[in-house]
């Protein structure tokens, strides 16, 4: 990752000095009822306790962990092994599939970004290949661009493992989306239509050992912008989330065969949790987020069914594709405004 210099240290001085407490109480939800051969399509009455658990976790925490989710454990393990092989290659070899401003898929590390406080390297893969997105963030620009995956020659199994894993993640994402919809009092498939041509992606994160872990973060504090993030992490651990009740940072210790779910949309009824990743001085870490995003043409706004006179819409509508394109563009160009976030669209705040 290069030498640790004065600029890097200065850039990491923002790291919050909040207390870290144990991860007691983090919701751990068992999805086994959905995997029963006797209940291929369980009705709402059968899974009412599960729906209540999901709703409580979303409202009180903004995230939760799931077990017995139906994803074969070997899929994650095989992808972790392939990812480690790729990140162990020389920098020159990895840069052969390096991302750029035209196609932000493939390899990059913090040397390619202005966000030097982050101590990581990444390989991004879109799920629908190609994925259509707006060519620019400009409101009147109707041109579309294709994001196309770049695959390295080595390890040769990386592509196959990513594609197998993507299929399993899509199934789990729709399952969770339907449970969340039910927990909001909506029909199970109410949100599915937004994801017909989804812009979802898998990110392979590698956090190398860091000589100054107290000054760096694997990734700084942030909130995700998509609908759901399904995160797999290895046994090294490093994820921290900010507890909503008191603002304490919670270490999320790895749980065998569990996925961490970060919930984003719903007019703040289910608010995305702020999170970050710490680094380790001795061990490298792999994490694999699957980010479930809607189609580029989706207009994101509070659902009519979730708003009324007592709970009016808190956000103005925005085009997901333009938002997505702006986030990607900001990695390569200095924008006139800070990196766009969901809160910029709050009706009580003025954006840009």
Token digits of residue 29 = 């939800």
Please give the model's pTM, rounded to 2 decimal places.
0.84
pLDDT for res 87: 97
Region for 25 from its dihedrals, namely left if φ exceeds 0, alpha if ψ lies in -120 to 50, beta otherwise: left
Report, as an integer, the average pLDDT of 288-310.
Answer: 87
Residue ranges of E strands in the chain: 20-21, 28-30, 63-67, 106-109, 121-126, 131-134, 144-147, 201-207, 219-222, 228-233, 239-242, 249-251, 259-263, 275-277, 285-292, 299-300, 318-319
| Phi, then psi, of 203 in degrees rounded to 5 | -120, 125
User: What is the tens place of the pLDDT at every residue in 187-204?
Assistant: 889 999 999 999 999 999
pLDDT of residue 20: 43
Nearest to 99 by CA among 85, 81, 111, 84: 111
Q: Where are the domains of the chain?
A: 6-297
Comparing CA positions, the residue from 200, 179, 201, 199 lying closest to residue 190 is 179
- What is the residue-averaged pLDDT of the chain? 80
Dist. CA 257–CA 280, nearest whole Å = 22
State the DSSP code for 105.
Answer: -
> Each residue of 7-52: pLDDT tens digit?
433 434 444 444 444 455 788 999 998 876 554 455 667 788 999 9
Name the DSSP class of 53: H
Which pLDDT tens digit goes with each residue over 216-274? 666 767 777 778 999 998 888 778 888 888 888 888 888 878 888 877 666 667 777 78
Structure tokens at 255: 């749980």
Q: Are 208 and 122 in contact (CB under 8 A)?
A: no
**Residue of 181 and 216 predicted with greater confidence:** 181
Distance CA 135, CA 133 (A): 6
| pLDDT at 162 (0 to 100) | 97
CB-neighbour burial class of residue 58 (10 A; exposed 0-12, middle 13-18, buried 19+) = buried
Query: Which of the pair, 40 or 168, is modelled with greater confidence?
Result: 168
* Architecture of the domain whose range is 6-297: Sandwich (2.60)
- Distance (Å, whole) CA 242 – CA 25: 13
């Amino acid at each position: 990752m290069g030498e640790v210099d004065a600029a890097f240290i200065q850039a990491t001085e923002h790291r919050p000095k909040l207390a870290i407490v144990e991860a007691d109480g983090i919701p751990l939800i068992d999805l086994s009822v959905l995997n029963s051969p006797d209940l291929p399509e369980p009705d709402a009455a059968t899974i009412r306790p599960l729906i209540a658990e999901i709703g409580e976790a979303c409202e009180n925490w903004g995230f939760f962990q799931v077990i017995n989710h139906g994803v074969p454990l070997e899929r994650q393990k095989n992808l972790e092994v392939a990812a480690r092989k790729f990140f162990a290659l020389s920098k020159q070899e990895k840069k052969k599939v390096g991302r750029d401003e035209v196609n932000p898929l493939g390899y990059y590390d913090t040397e390619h970004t202005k966000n030097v406080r982050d101590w990581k390297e990444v390989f991004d893969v879109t799920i629908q290949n190609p994925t259509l997105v707006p060519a620019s963030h400009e409101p009147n620009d109707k041109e579309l661009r294709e994001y196309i995956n770049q695959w390295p020659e080595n390890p040769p199994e990386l592509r196959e493992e990513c594609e197998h894993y993507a299929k399993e993640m899509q199934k789990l994402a729709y399952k969770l989306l339907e449970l969340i919809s039910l927990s909001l009092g909506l029909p199970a498939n109410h949100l599915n239509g937004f994801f017909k041509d989804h812009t979802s992606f898998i990110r392979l994160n590698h956090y190398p050992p860091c000589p100054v872990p107290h000054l760096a973060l694997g990734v700084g504090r942030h909130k995700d912008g998509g609908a759901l993030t399904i995160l797999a992490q290895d046994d090294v651990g490093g994820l921290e989330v900010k507890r909503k009740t008191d603002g304490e940072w919670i270490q999320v210790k790895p749980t065998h065969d569990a996925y961490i779910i970060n919930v984003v949309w719903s007019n703040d009824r289910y608010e995305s949790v702020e999170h970050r990743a710490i680094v380790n001085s001795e061990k490298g870490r792999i994490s694999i987020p699957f980010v479930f995003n809607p189609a580029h043409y989706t207009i994101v706004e509070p659902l009519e069914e979730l708003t009324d006179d007592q709970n009016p819409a808190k956000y103005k509508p925005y085009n997901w594709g333009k938002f997505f394109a702006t986030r990607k563009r900001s990695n390569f160009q200095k924008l006139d405004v800070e990196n766009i976030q969901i809160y910029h669209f709050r009706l009580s705040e003025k954006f840009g």
